[in-house]
Each structure stands twice: as C-alpha cells, then as structure tokens.
Structure 1
Amino acid sequence: MLWTRWLVLLLCWGATSGEPQAHERDAAPSEVQSDSRRQPSLPRAEPLDFGFVPAAVYDTHAYYEPGAISILFHMVHAFLYVVQPNTFPEDLIVKVIQQNMGGIKLEEWRKPENVVLLLQWIYYEAGFLICATIGILFVVLTPIIGMCFCVCRCCENCGGEMHQRQRKNADCQRGFYTASLIVTTVFITVGVLIAYAANHNMSNQIKSTRRFINTNIRDLKTFANNTPAQIEYLTTQYTSAKNKVLSDLDNIGPLLGGRIHSQLEKEVVPSLDTALRMAGAMRETKEALENISSSLEVLQEGTGKLQASLSTERASLSNTLSDPACTNGAVSHTCNTIRSTLSKLGISADFSRLPDVSHALANVNTVLRTDLSNIVQKGYSSFNDTPKLVKEQTRNIVSAVKGILDKIGTEIISFSKMIPVESSLANFTVFINTGQKKIESYYPQIDQMDFYRWIGCVAMLCMVVLVLAFNILGLLCGTCGYDKQATPTTRGCLSNTGGNLLMAGVGFSFIFVWVLMGVVSTLFVVGGNVEKLMCEPLANRQLFKIIDTPFLVHPAKKNFLPALLFQNSNIDLTLGSMYRECHDNNGLYHALQLETMFNINSFLNRTVYNKDLAKLFESVQVDLQGITLLEPAGRDNLINFANSGIGQIDYDAYLDEVNKGVTLVDLLSFSADLEVQADQLPRGALENALKGHASSIRQIHRELVVAMEQTMKYVRARSTLSQSIKLLQRMSSDLPVKVTNILSAIDAAEYLIIHNASHVVKQETKGYSQALVGYFKQYTKWVKNSLSEEVAQCKPISNIVDSMEIVACSFIIDSVNTFWFGLGGCCILLIPSIIFSVKLAKYYRRMDTEDVFEDMGNTGYHGEQVCNGNLTVDRYEPCSLYLHAAVFIDGGMLLSTHRTKCAT
C-alpha cells in the first residue's frame, strides 16, 4: 500500500493550489457584494486563460455486446426471474452479515432473531431450494428407478417379455411414439446446441479477457505516467496568474491612478472647464472692447464731419431758397415745400455723448497679461498626472509585492520537490509491470484449465449426444426396416437393430442422466445465486449499497473504504460514490475526497493568501495633496477681471445710439425728392442751384454716411457693433458672481482632492487589490476544478470494476448458466425419451412369441378339444419354443392364453 499512500499524497500536493481559506471563501463574496453596492465601478479581475490540462487517453472500453447469444442469456435470465422473482434482499444480507451468521453456534440458531433471518432467507431462496430439491430427487431416484427397471425387465416384466400383443390401433401407437420421440430428440438436440454454444462462448471470451487485462493495465500506466505532467502543469500555471498580477502592478499608474482620476474628474474637470471658458471670455471681452473703442472713435469723428457738412448744406440751401425767384406764385409753393424739409437735414445718432471704454479696455489688457488658459492647463496637467503620482508613491509597495510573489512561486516549486512524485509513480509503474507479468505467467495455466473444462463439458454433452445417436439411429433403422406384413416374430434384422439401438439409448440414459443432473443442479444453485446475488446487484449498483452500509465490516468503523485507505472511517467516502465519480472520469482527488484529509488552507495561508501580501495591499496609500488645480495668479486674474469695470459701462446707451440711423432722413431720398421738385421749377438759375444742392447732399451721403454705416455694421469683419455691445453686456452681467462660483468650484475640487480623496483612493485601492487577488482566486478555482475533473482522471478504476463485472458475469456466469440451462433441459427431456424409446422398441424388435387370431369353425387345426363350451386350439411346432394356446368363443375373441412347451 506504499504506492497508494504516495499517490494520495501526490494528489494532495496538487491540490495545495486549490482554494482560499474557508473564512475567506465565505466572507469575501459578501464583502465584494457589499462594496459593489456602495461602489459599482470597482474593477473586476480579467478572466485568465490557463489552457487545458494535458488529458489522458484511456484505451479500455468497458462495454460488452454478446451478439446473437444474448438471446440465450435473456432466456436464462427470464428463467431465473421465474425461479427467483424476489427483489434483491439488501436489508436481509446486511442483517445476516451484521449478525455474523457464519459464526453463530448451533445453540444460537434457536434465538428468535436468528430464526427470523433464517426464515427470511429460506423464503428468498425458495425457488432455488425447490428446484435444487427436485434436482436432488432426480439424482437419487433416477439410478434407483433405472436399477428397478432393469431388474423388472430381466424378470420379463415392464415390457421385458419378448411377446407383443396385437392391437387394432398398433399403427397409431407406433406413429405417436415415433413422432413424440422425434420431437423429444429435436428438443434434446437444441439443448445440446445451447449448452455447446455456451461452452464455446466461454472459451472464446476467456481468451478475449486478455484484451481487457492489457487495456486496463495500459490505462493504469497512462494514469501513472500522465499524472505528474498534469500536476506539473497545474503548478506552472501559477506563473500565468503571477505574470498577470505583475503586469497590473507595473501598470498600477494607469489602472489604479486611472480609476482614481476617473472618479475625481467628475468634480474636478467641470470646475477647470468653467475657468478655461472664462479665460476665453476674457479674450472675447478684450476683442469686443477694442471693437467698441475703435468704432466709437470713427463714429464720433464721422458724426462731427457729417453734422458740419449737413449744417453748411442746410444753410446754403436756405440761402438759395431766399432767392427772389422763389417769390412767384407757382415757384413759391415749391420753395416753401423744400424750405419745410430743411429741418430734416441733421444727424440722428450722436456718438459724441457715449462714454469712453478705454479704461475698461486697459484693465482687461492688464488682466490678459496673465495667461489664465496656461494656468488652467497646468491644473489639467497636474490633475492628469494622478496615474504617475500613484505609480511613484506605490513604487516601494509594488517592489515588495513582486518579492512576495517570487517567494510564493519558489515555495510552491520547493514544496513540489519535497515529495518524490516521480519515484513514487515509478514504483507504482514497476508494481503494475510486475503484476502484469505475473498475470501473463498464468495465461498458459488458464488456457490449460479452460481446455480441461471445455473437454469436460464436451464429454458431458457427448453423453447426451450418445443417447441422441442411439435414438436417431434407432429411429432410422426401425422406421426403414419396419414391415407391416411381417409378424412380430418374423421382423427383419434392420428393424430389430433399430429396436435394440433404442433400448441401448434407454440404458445409457439411465447410466448418464443422474450424473448430468447432479452437475446441472450444482451449476444451477451456484450460478443462479451468483447471478441473482452478485451480477444483478452489481449491474444496478445495489451491491455498493450493501458494501457501503455503515458499520457493516466492523462495529467501530463507519465506512470501510476510508478506514482502509486513510485509517479514518468517519470520512464520508463510499465505494459507490467513488465508483460514480470515476465512472464519470472525474479526478481521483475528488473521488477520494482528499480535501477532508489534508489542510490545504494552511498552505494557502503561507503562500498565496499570506498575511504579508494582504497587509501590503491594504497599505497602499496615495497622497494627492501635490495636485494644484489653479495657481494664485490665476485666482488673482479672475478677480481682476471681475473688477475690470466692464460691468459699469452703460450698454443701453450704446445700443440706443447704434439702433438709431446716422441721419434724420435718408439723404439719397432727400436729394432725389429735391431734384424732382427742381424739375418742377422753370429752367433757370434756381433749378440749377437746387440740383447742385441735391448733388452735394448725395456726395455727403457717399462720403460720410456710408462710411459710418459700414463702421456700425462691420467691426473688423467679425461682428456688428451691436453684437459686440450685446456680448459685453451679457459677459458683464453678474460677472463677480460667476467668478466667485468658478473659484468656489475649484476650491471645492481642491478640497475634495486634498481632504476627501482618501475615501475614493481607499475604494479604488480596494477594488484594485481585489482584482489582483481575483487572479489568484481564478487560479485556485481553476486548480480545484482541474483536480476534480481533469487531473488523475480515475476512469481506469471504474473500468477495472466494469471489466471484472463483464468477465465474471457476462463471460463466465452467463455462459455457465446457459450451459446448465441447455444441459438441464436435455436431462429433463431424457425421461420422456426413455419412455418413448421403450414403448417404440416393442414395434421394432423381433419377438419370441406372438398372438394368433383364427375364426371359430375353421378346420385343419391339429388337436382340437372342446371343454365346457370353449374351443381350445393347440398347435405343436417341432421347436423348443413356448407356444400360446388361445381360447376363443363367439367370433374369435381371445379369452385366455396358456403357455405350453413345444413338442420336440
């Protein structure tokens, strides 16, 4: 059993990477669920691909299909079911074993419980007992009856007298006996063929048993040779988990720092974005102020020129209208009309009254000397350096974790080298090879014994075949030599030989049948009970329930299998459960429940799940106080911009003037109307003067008004003056409040980073640590699943059990039962064969005397005598034979016969 212990220890070592501590296994899931509810964004460990454990390919196919002979097997099973229809007595067998019936003394049989068990057992075996009793009676009575039959025939009784009485239905009787003997012979022949087929099948299957032995031994070798490679593969796959952890540790900045960054950016980035937008607003404010300032200078200058030009032109036009020519009736009306419109020649928008924005522009230019955008970008950069900051601050922890992981790998390798796996399995292989050689050394003896068995069975069948030969030859000779015209005393030699052969068959039947029945009864009792008590319960696995009954083997040992393997009977390991696991080709570790024998958690505590590693993960601290979102210069810049004075500008006044027209009237329309009215005047100096004024007004519009309108409409080809004013108005509204909100948001973000980020860091660090531990959990879970399903797959063990069942039950027991079934049928049918042969032999054998029938009144008989009304006919032959004297009355009916001796 040394190799078994080493193998168990080997598999235990393979399981050392199996699963975490019980308290971690139970507590961790609840903690993870709780954390996931609080922080759904915790990262999970990526699924690892550990590949496939090198699979062992087993050659044994423990399946047997008997073929055509299965019909005979089913017939025997049906017969045994008729003999023994009771279900398997599981409880009865358990009680018998527990009562130790074999060790009960004679006086203890009278105890009530033992009597009950005995009666129950007799009831279960009733069918076999009845059949066995019949067989015993057959064996005992057959030779006695045969002896009595021989003595009786020697005394010329029981059909022994060589005289055959003549019957009217003699032909019918002979035909009936002939047909019955033929049918009986055919059935006996079928029984012989069945027995011979079973005998031949057993020899063939015993030879094929070597295939099962060879494949099972080869599978055991495969099991022994492949298991170290499988365990080594489990060990080496620790490197996969380790490399993944190392990769995550090397990327702790992007992984952990990135997670921290993503959690904090929800508060930080919006505040920086508002500050950056404010920096853009500063530049837009400057541009708008510059537009207003430049436009205001142009408009004020143009307004002065326009007002002077319009005043001069209005005065000149007024002088022209003062001409005496305007006093005439028709002309005066036109002149008066023109004179009434002179007041419209003036400016509408007076930009000279608008306040100057140069002071606010100067303040904004002073604010823009500080590049707020650059300061905000520094804040972005500082915050985006969180992964780098995390990596720098955890550099020592990462180095320490790498050292522990290397130490864990070294411990696993060292532990694997502590157990002589290869030497143990080499010894196991040597043991298998030695066992195989021993088994193969018995092959010649097995073949020889099987040959003797085959010869013995054939010899028994030859006994029946001898009887069949006599019957068949007797039937052939008797039937072919039978002559209806011949009297019993004159039958031919061939017919007489047929009768003698039939009687010879009867004699050999009495000689052999009781011996054959004794063999049949013995094989029936043994083979039938083995089939019902061993093979059937083994096929439906009820036998395992008996073997696995607690305290069956020993009162102090609950389960015998763990007591045998591990010296601990309290382990819940049964032969049935082990067989089921192995039949499903699961690992021997799971089949033997080795997890109950070895404390794997202690190894895990020292290696993968040690406290030092947990402490290192818990000691991860990230200090984000070095992150600065907005420098003091940026704060001052925002405050100065709020106090730049853009909020004090009267934007409504600007909008009012801008929305007004440049002049009170459209000069082009005014000049056109003036020309129209001049055309109404008589031709002369007045007309020409008015048209000259119209041309001057049109020139003023072209030179001054158009330029001013262009200035108001387009400011540096970007926007209108109105748009710039509205932009400034919108920007300046609540500007101090906006700046205050921006500064408050940045302060809140910085406060979160400096003071409250520890919670975020703790959560993300915990998630990161759980992700790292998750890789080891995946590894241990994979190892456990591999140990349960793929490593040391114990299919060869169940194959051995199945092969033993096939060899013992399908090859041997079924053949043995089929043999006695066929031979037993022959023995039973030999009884009617004897009867029919004896009856039929009378019709084929030559008789010594015969019956003579003659009518009353016939003459010619020698020595006629009449006595008391009876006619006595005596015939005397010159021979030493006995003659029968027949006495007839009324029509020749035979009344009596007398035996007389012939005269010499």
Structure 2
Amino acid sequence: MGRLLLSWLLFGAFLKCVLTQTAARVEKGADGKLVFTDFEPFCEYRAQDDFEPTRSAFFGNIATGFIRLVAPGRLATVIQDIDIEAFQENAGVYLIENYSTFVTAFVAIPVFFILGLILALLVPCIGAIFCCCRCCDNCGGEMLQNKEDNNLWKRWGLVSFLLCTALLLGIGCASVFLGGRTFTGSVETAINTIDTTNQDLKCYTNSIFKEFEYLVETANETVLLAVEEIQTTSEDVMMLLDDIDTVFKRVVSLDQSAQSISDSLALVNDVKSSEMDLRDALAVFTTNYNATLMSEACQNDTACKMAGFNPDDYKVNTDFQNVADVSQQQDPLNEFLAQNLSGKANKLLSDLEPILNVFQAGSFELPQSFDTNQFNTLTQHSLSQVDTLFDDISKAINDPDVDNVASQVTQYGFAGSAVLASLIGVISALYILGIIFGEIGRKRDDEPTERECLAKCGGCMLVLGWVFSFLFYFIVAMLAAWYFLFGSLGEIFLCQPLGDPSTFDALQPLLFQADPTPGVPSFQNISLSAALRSCENNEPLWESLNLDDVFGSDIDTNINDLRDAVDFSSLIDPIDLQDTLNFEESTSLTELSNIDFSALDYAQLTTELDESPVVDLSAEVSAINALADNVVSHEIVDNV
C-alpha cells in the first residue's frame, strides 16, 4: 500500500505542475465560460486586426501545460476584468452575472495552486522516508511479504501506475522538445514580424503623404476648372452688359418720347386756352364794332359807313370742340414719367461701371494654377524624416548584433528545451528500466533484504528516477508559485520592459518631434512603447499605434473634408447686385459661375416699359397743325 500510495503521489506530483500552469492560464471566454488559452511561448507582436488567440481543450493543455513558463498572463489578467463599481452597487446581481470570473479568480486558480503546492510539499517528505528505507536495505524490515495471489493486483497496479507515469513523462519529453523548437521559432517570428510591421507602417505612412499629394493635384485641377468657368462667366457678363446697355438706350429713348408727348399734351392745352381767348377777343371786337356802327358818330360819318368791315371774314373756322379731351391721357402719362426709368437706368450703369471697367480693361486677373511648391516642400520634409526613421529601425532590426542576440536566444532556448527534455527522458527511462529490472530479478520467495543484484539495480533506478522527479517537480512548483504571484518570467523580463514608456525615451525624439519646426507637420501623439505593449494585452499593432487619434477616425473623410474646404469663390469680389438687377437667379457676382446666362430673360428689365400706357395723340396733333395753319394764314392775329 505504501508503494501504491507513493505511485499515486508521484503521478499527482506530475499533474500538479500541469494543473497549476493550466489553471494560471484560465480566462473568461466571450460566452462567459472558462477557457484555457493555447501555448504562447513568446510574446509576439501582431499586426493583424483579425487576430484571435486559438483556444484548446483542457486535456490538450496537459501535454504542454507544465512548460508554459514564459507565456504572459497571471491572476491579475482575470481580476482586472472585475468591475469594482458595479460590484459595490449590487454585489449579488454582479456575482450572478459574472460568476465565471469570480470562480476563475477566487476558486479555480487558488484551489489548483494550493493543491499543487501541497503535493509539492508532501512528495518530498514521503520520498525522503522511502529513500532512507531503500538505501538502508530496511524497506519492509525483517517482515516477510505476504505472497498470496490476492496481493498480485497491488503489484500490477503499482507497475501500471509507474508505466503510466513513465509514458506521461515521455509525452512531456516530446512536448518540451517541440516546445523548445516552437520557442526558438517564435523568437525568429517575432523579429521578422517586427521588421514586417515596420515596413508596413512605412508603406502606410507613405500612402498618407501620397494621398495629400493627390489632394494637391486634385486642387490644382479644380483651380484650372474654376479659371475656365470664370473666363466663360466673363464672356457672359460682357454679353449681359451689352444687353443692359441696349436696354438703357431703349429706356432713355422711351422716357424722352414720353416727355415729348407730355409736352405736346401741354401744348394742346395751351392752344385750347388760346383758342378760347381768341374767340372771346373776337366776340368783344365784334360787339364793339357793331356798337360803333350803330353809334351816332358813325351814322353821321360817311367814311365810317363805307369802311366795309365784315366780321364774318375774320371768324375762326376751326372748331376745337371736336378735339379730344387730352386730360384723360395726362394722368397715366404722369404715372409713367414718375417711375423715372431714365434715373434707374443711369443708376444701373453707374453700379455696373466697376464691373464693366474690370472686364473691358482686362484687369481681372485669374490664377493659372495652384502653387504647390510650399506644400510639397513641407510634405517631402516630413516624409523624408519618417522614411529615415523607419530605415533606421529596419537597420537596427537587421543589425548583426540583433542577429547575434536572436541566435543566442535561439541557442539558449533550444539548449534549455533539450536539457529539460533530457531530464524528463532520463526520469522516464529510469522508471521503465527500474520496473523491468525489478520484475526480471525478483523472485517470489525472496525477502526484500535478500533480493538479487538485478532486482536491487531496478529498485535503485526507481529511487534515482524519483529523486530526479522530486527535483524537477520542486523547481516546477517554485516557478508556478512565482508565476502565480508575480507573473511569468517572459512577461516580467521582456514584455513589461518593452511596454514601459521610459524604455524608448531615446527613440521618442527620432519618431516624434518634441520641438516641431514651424510649418512642418509633426506626429506627437504616437507612442512606440504603446505599440509594444501589445505583448501584454494582445492588442493589434495598428490599434496600439493610435493612428486614429493622430489622423482622425477616417483619413479618407478628413481628406475629403479638406478637399471640400478649398474655396475658390474668393477669387471673385463679392459685388452684390441684388439692389440693381432684378434677377431671382443671381444675388451676387460670386454666383455668376453657376448661372446659365443663355437661359436668362432680359425682357424682365423692360417689362414695365413694354407694358406702359400708349397715348394716341394723332388726332390732337392734326387739329393743332390745322389750327396753326389757319391762324398763321389770317392777318387777324396781327391786327388783333
């Protein structure tokens, strides 16, 4: 029973380190269940956004669990997922919703660790007693062993457990050897990944500057198109000015005609008034003449009687009663004249005079292209600095010293795995050979103190195998305790220094200007150390670089916004013509480039003129002319 118990303890001691290391890698999965991460012998730098660590089952980790000594991860990785504020607000609900986290952090990991630690303490004590008894040839003392057949299953049980332990150790030997090769391969992969990431980041940065160059070229083309549109607009403006000048002449002519008509109407009124005065004068003259003829003096004067004056010969033949009443035409004509179209036309020409002078004198200068020299100088300066930095990083990665260090790490990793595999292989061989020699050299009737040399050699091999097992298990237990309390060696001595910002203080000024040159773009928000912290939290490299914080959430969106922000309307003076031109299509000259002048209806400028009242004075003019001829042809006017 002692040997059977010892075998169980040996097997438990072997599983102890596996369980300890496996439990230390327990994490909470996406579905809230406990998962065990895959073997990660080296903290790798990942540039793929879609990277997801592979998961493996519990039994798959048994073969490689005890060599997970350099994989980053510890109890704090699980504990940091606990939301302390939510736990304080409602502990019961939070425990129910996040039971897996608490089970992992406060039950699974401590239980497995304590169990392994107990086994690590019990096995040395029991092993020491067994060794003392074996070495002193007192194992069993003078007591005779019970040789009945019903105890045979105990021996075969012991043999079976020893063989199982030996086989598991053999599997562990192969796992250690393969793990060592994986470790050395991971070192090379990490270096190559860093180099590839450096090249990818260089290409990405160059593409950003290429995008800005494309923006400049696009802006230049946009300027040329704007110049062509403005030139076309200038031709349309000249046509517009010609049409406005024609309209102005029509307005002045019509206004003058209206004034002439108004003067004619006034003349008609004057003639009517004169005609009435003339009639009154003739009536008075006739009355006086008749009175004179009837007077006594004229009756006694023969000469007076013989004068032969006939008033009918001087009667006005023109009847102005037939002349139309022009007073009805005067009111609409006065309304038309009150519009002062000539004044409006003069104001229009005075307002358009600056534009007319600009286009007629050819002083409207347009840029032929967008000056990109200054912008190209800035971008090329920044691009050269970035390229130099990435080239220096690439040279540093490919430096022979780095290759030597990588080679040494690879050699040490391979040598370490070989030594570890050899140790486990020796333990496994001692167990197997001890069982074989013990069974061959054992005789059923021999007492423990009377065994033959072959049987004793087999027993010594078992003891020696146990001693090596004890040393191996003890070292693994100490490493497991260190791993549980302080984190893995790889994380402490490799990942944490790389994640420390102070590590790269010397490189920081090379990549990010602390005192940027005026006018030169600088990228001060990128942290190289933050990128290298990905070995601690497995973040993708692009997220660690925080490029979104430097260039915005979307570089294409920013470039499009910058492209839309190029305002060419400042090339045209914003002369407001809203008070002068009654165009609904245009409010200022800045919008002329968007107007189709061929579609404009210039008749809008003369609508009031075309719809003005038409005064027909032909009858009045004819009557005035006839009256004038009649008055002039008679001497009575002079006589009167």
TM-score range (shorter-chain normalised) is 0.3 to 0.5
Structure number with greater Rg is 1
Structure 1 length-normalised TM: 0.34
Structure 2 length-normalised TM: 0.46
Structure of greater relative contact order (alpha carbons < 8 Å, 6+ residues apart)? 1
